[in-house]
Structure 1
Amino acid sequence: MIEGVLWAVFAGLMLGLYALPEKFTKGFKYENTWSLFFLLTMFVVPIIASLMLIQGFQEIFTNMPIDIWVKMGLSSFLWGIGVMMWSKAINHIGLSLGFSIFIGTIILVGSLLPFIVDGIPPSNVLTFVLLGILVVLLGVILNGKAGLTREKDEAKLNADQTTNSDKGSMTTGILIAVVGGLLATGFSYANAVGRPYLEEAVALQGNAGWVTAIAVMFPIFISGGIVMTAYFLWQLNAKKAWGDFRTSSFSRNFMLILIMAVFHYAASALFAYAASKLGASGNTVGYAIFNTASVATAIVSGIITSEWVRASSKARNMLYAGLACMIIGIVVIAYGNAQA
């Protein structure tokens, strides 16, 4: 159990850091950065990783039942839309607030969703898991409030920024983050549906147990990547952004975005591995720990990169309280899982 918790936390750290390199790209529009990111993280990285690491790749996936393909494909397609909306939310309301609201929605819905697939755990486990999720959710809400307070503090310092334009951008960003978070819970469902077959199929081909996590990610990322590719092709044309790829900083930008892609993919694969190590409640417990760790990491990185430098002490205190709640929530969830 401890091993699963540690891997889930590590996966969350990677997810929380994945978007950080975007701050250092130069000469790219939003469409350039994220179209290249999604191309790499949804297709290039998972295809290379799967072909290199999964023995019997063709046999495993050609023999996978159609109903599992359909369930994983549709839920992953929704997840892809959610992740795409997440990138838009970050663009509207920043890294810290974007993570808080998006992940808060995921924790509320996604942590409970696998119960439908895996079944309800024993009452003593369920009690602690639900209590831990509530504490985590309280922490995410406090972080969201901290972000809103920070925005108000910054608006007061910007004489050229009107209240109405602030509210419009903030409302839009929050709405995008919430809807995106709801759709992104498809990842947890796809993982829960596909894992039983893939775990058995991977073992029959002589693979180590950890390879199951790579196998689970393959249909999820390919299916999720389809919608993102279509959207960004349209956006690159609509915004006339193709020419921005011809910048002297392309090589630097490509390496930064490749780091983003590897971190994003590795975080998801490590979550799947952590879920397998956490037993019957792995999807629920792992999902809560994974997403909470990612929020905490994103917020800390936001502090380090001066996102909160102009925030009031009230905003920062709410941020710290939220982080404390999330850490306590992780401990409660982990304790509950240990009772299984």
Structure 2
Amino acid sequence: MIEGIVLAVGAGLMLGLYALPEKFTKDFKFENTWGLFFMLTMFLVPIVASLTLIKDFSNVFAAVPTDILFKMAAASVLWGVGVMMWGKAINHIGLSLGFSIFIGTVILVGSILPFVVEGLPPKNVFLTVLAGIFVVLLGVLFNGQAGITRELDELESGQSKKEKGAMVKGITIAVVGGLLATGFSYANAVGRPSIHEACQAAGNAEWVTAVGVMFPIFISGGIVMALYFAWQLSAKNAWAEFKTPSFGKNFTLILIMAIFHYAASALFAFAAFKLGEIGNTVGYAIFNTSCVATAIVSGIVTKEWINASSKAKNYLYLSLACMIIGIIIIAVGNGIS
């Protein structure tokens, strides 16, 4: 159990930090950076990793039932749509509130979905895990309140001139996007048993299953993201921005981001396996919570909150405390199982 928890926390740390290299790219618009990122992380990295690490790759996937692959692909497409909707929600309600609503929905629904696929655990285990998820969600709410408070402080002091879109519309998009993004959790839960069996039959190590599971998820979800950013690059006339002397440096930085993002997801899948019978639920909750907590700590270290009011900072610290306590409760629930 301890190994699984450590792996899930490690995956969350990687996901929380993967975007840091983006701060050092030059001469790229938002669409260039993230369009290239999604092409690398959703296609190049998983294809190279799968072909390199999965022994007897073609026969492994030939052994997986077609209906399982179809369910994984359909859920992964929904995941891709959900991630794109999150980006839209931020335009309407801001990063703090948009992120909190989105990730809160992801943690709540995505952690419960595996129970739909695998069945409910014993009552005491189920209630303990739910209690932990509830505490985590409190932390997410406090995180959102911290961000909103900071934004209001900046508006009052004249530091921010950001215009807000329709609040109801933004919240709706964030919630729906979060619901769709839980397709990642469903795809992992429904596909892992069959892919694990096929990988083992081909003589692969246990951890290789995580690489196998990520292959259909990333490729299917990547189709949506590739189409979206191709449209955005055309709409913003940003294709020409790739012709810059900084392209080589930017490509390297974005490739590092792509590898970390993919590795974080694959590490989560392996952590869920190591956590046992309710590992998909426990692992998913710990994975996403660790990601948010890492982002909070990263923001503190990089002095993003240095000018925030004490009220905003107190909400932030309360958020971090709730997330840590929530992870501990969820871990206890997994231990009981």
C-alpha displacement of 1:172: 6.3
Q: Counterpart of 1:274 in 2: which secondary structure?
A: helix
Q: For residue 280 of structure 1, what is the aligned residue in structure 2?
A: 277
Q: Which whole-Å CA distance do the structure 1 matches of 2:119 and 2:25 have between them?
A: 45
Gaps of 5+ in 2: none
Q: Is the 8 A contact 1:191 1:216 kept in 2?
A: yes
The reply on whether 1:334 has 2:328 as its aligned counterpart is no
Inter-CA distance 335–286: structure 2 relative to 1 (3 Å threshold): same
C-alpha displacement of 1:21: 1.9
C-alpha displacement of 1:253: 1.3
Q: Counterpart of 1:283 in 2: which secondary structure?
A: helix
Q: For residue 58 of structure 2, what is the aligned residue in structure 1?
A: 58
C-alpha displacement of 1:94: 6.8
Q: Write the letter of the residue equivalent to 1:243.
A: A
Inter-CA distance 172–15: structure 2 relative to 1 (3 Å threshold): farther
Moved more, 173-182 or 51-60: 173-182
Inter-CA distance 306–44: structure 2 relative to 1 (3 Å threshold): same
C-alpha displacement of 1:179: 2.7
1:46-91 CA distance string (max 9 Å, x none): 0000000000100011232111111001000011112233445567
Alignment RMSD (CA, Å): 1.8
The reply on whether 1:49 has 2:49 as its aligned counterpart is yes
Q: Counterpart of 2:249 in 1: which secondary structure?
A: helix
Q: Is the 8 A contact 1:110 1:284 kept in 2?
A: yes
Q: For residue 302 of structure 1, what is the aligned residue in structure 2?
A: 299
C-alpha displacement of 1:166: 3.4
Q: Which whole-Å CA distance do the structure 2 matches of 1:32 and 1:338 have between them?
A: 45
Q: For residue 31 of structure 1, what is the aligned residue in structure 2?
A: 31
The reply on whether 1:127 has 2:127 as its aligned counterpart is yes
Report the TM-score, using the length of structure 1 for normalisation: 0.94
Q: What are the equivalent positions in structure 2 for 1:16-165 lying under 5 Å apart?
A: 16-88=16-88, 98-158=98-158, 161=161
Q: Which whole-Å CA distance do the structure 2 matches of 1:203 and 1:118 have between them?
A: 21
C-alpha displacement of 1:27: 1.1
Inter-CA distance 21–85: structure 2 relative to 1 (3 Å threshold): farther
Inter-CA distance 288–70: structure 2 relative to 1 (3 Å threshold): same
Q: Which whole-Å CA distance do the structure 1 matches of 2:22 and 2:327 have between them?
A: 28
Q: What are the equivalent positions in structure 2 for 1:236-315 lying under 5 Å apart?
A: 236-315=233-312
1:105-127 CA distance string (max 9 Å, x none): 11111000110001100111111
Q: Is the 8 A contact 1:155 1:166 kept in 2?
A: no
Moved more, 63-72 or 37-46: 63-72
C-alpha displacement of 1:103: 1.6
Q: Which whole-Å CA distance do the structure 2 matches of 1:29 and 1:177 have between them?
A: 24
Inter-CA distance 307–294: structure 2 relative to 1 (3 Å threshold): same
Q: Is the 8 A contact 2:151 2:160 kept in 1?
A: no
Q: Counterpart of 2:308 in 1: which secondary structure?
A: coil
The reply on whether 1:235 has 2:229 as its aligned counterpart is no
Moved more, 201-210 or 21-30: 21-30
Q: Is the 8 A contact 2:154 2:160 kept in 1?
A: no
Gaps of 5+ in 1: none
1:201-255 CA distance string (max 9 Å, x none): 0000000000000000000000000111111111111111001111122122111
1:120-144 CA distance string (max 9 Å, x none): 0011111110000000000100001
C-alpha displacement of 1:41: 0.3
Q: Which whole-Å CA distance do the structure 2 matches of 1:2 and 1:196 have between them?
A: 22
1:20-62 CA distance string (max 9 Å, x none): 2222221111110111000000000000000000001000112
Q: Write the letter of the residue equivalent to 1:15.
A: L
C-alpha displacement of 1:175: 4.6
Q: Is the 8 A contact 1:138 1:325 kept in 2?
A: yes
Q: For residue 318 of structure 1, what is the aligned residue in structure 2?
A: 315
Q: Which whole-Å CA distance do the structure 2 matches of 1:189 and 1:39 have between them?
A: 23
Inter-CA distance 41–320: structure 2 relative to 1 (3 Å threshold): same
C-alpha displacement of 1:282: 0.5
